Amino acid sequence: MSYDAVVIGAGHNGLAAAVRLAEKGWSVAVVEAREEAGGAVKTRELTLPGFRHDLCAMNLSMFAGSAFFAAHKEALLAQGLGFAPAQDCFASVFRDGTYFGVSTSLDKTIAGIAALSPADARAWRDLVARFEIDAPHILALLGSPMPSITAAKAVWKAWRERGTGWLFETLRLFLASPRDFLDARFSHPKIKAMMAAWGLHLDFAPDVAGGALFPYLESMACQTFGMVIGKGGADTIVNAMTRALKARGAVLILGAPVARVDVSSGRAGGVTLADGRRLEARRAVIANVHPKLVFGTLIASDPARRSFERDISSFRAGPGTMMIHLALDDLPNWSAGAAVRSFAYVHVAPDLEMMSRVYSEASAGLLPVEPALVVGQPTAIDPSRAPEGKHVLWIQVRLLPANIRGDAKGEIQATNWDDAKQAYAERALDILESYAPGLRGLALARAIYSPLDLERENPNLIGGDNLSGSHHLDQNFFLRPAAGYSRYRTPVKGLYLCGASTWPGAGTGAGSGFMLAKMLAG
């Protein structure tokens, strides 16, 4: 079979590229090794019938605010896409039995901050006002290929409207560590911890340069726009995209691992599947696949690409992740109060010192004494995900080593995840129970995915890294995944990369797939 483009991998970036190309009249085939599309955006009954759990990604705010969704909104909504908005977006719980959270009501958020520090309440209001100025310019830059004329125009427009001082201040934001950014604006440690926790969603401990941007954007975006999750599950975006693809005549082939990318005279001309079928690609092969799995696996090494392949081989993973999914009789009974039960996300990362420690321990290959927990309460927002009166809990355990060298607490002797995961899950649940007593008594069933399990489920998550590559400054922006190759091209003509390993990185924004498709087809 012959197509204009063959897309390898039916994650949301690959699907976004395929939808855009099909809309522009390209014939497209998407091939996926698994029996279901979605990559890291999947929803399954992992525990009991009727309890729908988002396997990895839960927060769809980036997708809802994406350029891809804006361009294809009507088509996706017509195919059943649905969002469930959260008014109470995220909160942090603290060791003293208190909490602080951010809601879409600015007055509500400000009142909570003022109870801690009137000066910080004024600083928060000032930061919200700054975000209203910053957002159009920063988001325009983050939504541009890197580098590109579009990115240059975004900077030029910002300079014309805001001046040189604004550009330098924004550059400081892009380079600052979370601690430095927060120390310059707030005094109360709980406010700082609440914002800094967002850095751990990537791999930014409090003192890592370049880590200030994500906590700033996430905190302010939640305050200004709110947070959304998928109605019925995060897979609502995948289901809508696959239906939109088929409506445009594209082909989706599931359960079809790619054996190799076919290269002749230095150009990718198609793919050969594991069952021997060959799909010809007249104009492009798009790999929505981790570059380490493309070069050296799907494409044999070539001395002519030595420099590029060396850069790809040294592309670092971010820390590993464990996922714990619980089916519950009720939402957790948080010691900090019943109000915490209404938040979509609850961070159990009570201070910057703890965040620095868990990052250091995981980086050293040690099982952290006190991991950070991101607790999702989707059924507080969308009750349809569980039987009436029941709930699901989504627990992301961060940050963890891919390969275990030891236990920082000295309790777990196992040095492989198959043997260590149950004991480490109990450690995480012990921590969570100290903030929500009686949680285990509410649990009807559970499913645990270690970093190794996540890689088995999705080989792109190397070492359980749900980022598909560290976002530190030396492999971000125009250096992602390698210098000179941030615009999705590769040294092989006709072969392109997209996905979380490419600019603009991890998340559900579909940015790389959409930008690549626009570069190919307008």
Q: What does the pLDDT look like over 8-30, one tens digit per residue? A: 999 999 999 999 999 999 999 99
**Average pLDDT value for residue range 35-52:** 98
Measure the CA–CA gap between 217 and 497, rounded to whole angstroms: 26
Mean pLDDT of the chain, nearest integer: 97
The Cβ of residue 19 has, within 10 Å, a number of other Cβ atoms equal to: 29
Convert the pLDDT of each residue in 175-223 to its tens digit.
999 999 999 999 999 999 999 999 999 999 999 999 999 999 999 999 9
- Summarize pLDDT for 64-86 with one digit per residue, the tens: 999 999 999 999 999 999 999 99
Beta strands in 300-382 (DSSP E): 320-328, 345-348, 366-367, 372-376
Q: Which amino acid is at 255?
A: G
Q: How far apart are CA 271 and CA 262, in angstroms?
A: 5
For 418-479, list the strands marked E by DSSP.
443-449
Please tell me the distance from the alpha carbon of residue 350 to that of residue 370, in angstroms, as a whole number.
10
**DSSP per residue over 218-231, as a string?**
HHHHHHHH-EEEET
For residue 75, how far is the Cα from the chain centroid? 24
**pLDDT, tens digit (0-9, with 9 covering 90-100), for 464-473:** 999 999 999 9
Provide the pLDDT for residue 239. 98
End-to-end CA separation in angstroms for the chain: 25
Question: H or E stretch including 88?
Answer: strand 88-93
For 215-227, the pLDDT digits (tens) are 999 999 999 999 9
Neighbours of 234 (CB within 10 A): 28
Beta-strand pair 372-376/443-449: unpaired
* Angle 31-35-41 from CA coordinates, rounded to 5°: 85
Nearest to 458 by CA among 76, 129, 12: 12
∠ CA 157-154-211, nearest 5°, is: 120
What is the per-residue pLDDT for 296?
83
Mean pLDDT for 439-458 is: 98
Residue 465 tokens read as 């890294």
317 has pLDDT over 90? yes
In Å, how far are 79, 192, 354 from 181, measured between CA atoms?
42, 9, 18
Q: What type of residue is 159?
A: W
Mean pLDDT over residues 449-457, rounded? 98
Q: Edge-to-edge, what's the strand order for the sheet holding 345-348?
A: 99-103, 88-93, 345-348, 372-376, 391-400, 320-328, 443-449
Does the pLDDT of residue 493 top 90, yes or no? yes
pLDDT digits (tens, 9 = 90+) for 276-314: 999 999 999 999 999 999 998 999 999 999 999 999 999
Assign domain 2-43+61-83+233-315+468-521 to a CATH class: alpha beta
Per residue in 82-98, pLDDT tens? Answer: 999 999 999 999 999 99
For residue 481 the two structure tokens come to 């995944």
Across 409-418, average pLDDT: 98
Neighbours of 298 (CB within 10 A): 22
The structure tokens listed for 206 are 């409090």
> CA 64 to CA 201: how far, in whole Å?
19
State the residue for tokens 């409090």: 206
Alpha helices in 197-305 (DSSP H): 213-225, 236-247, 291-294
Q: What is the mean pLDDT of the segment spanning 447-453?
A: 98
- pLDDT tens digits for 232-284? 999 999 999 999 999 999 999 999 999 999 999 999 999 999 999 999 999 99
Residue 43 has pLDDT above 90, yes or no: yes
- Residue tagged 């489920």 (tokens): 457
Q: Where are the domains of the chain?
A: 2-43+61-83+233-315+468-521, 105-224, 320-457
pLDDT band at 491 (very low <50, low <70, confident <90, very high): very high
Question: Contact at 8 Å (CB) between 196 and 206?
Answer: yes
pLDDT of residue 522: 79
Cβ neighbours of 105 (radius 10 Å): 12
| pLDDT classification of 413: cutoffs 50, 70, 90 | very high
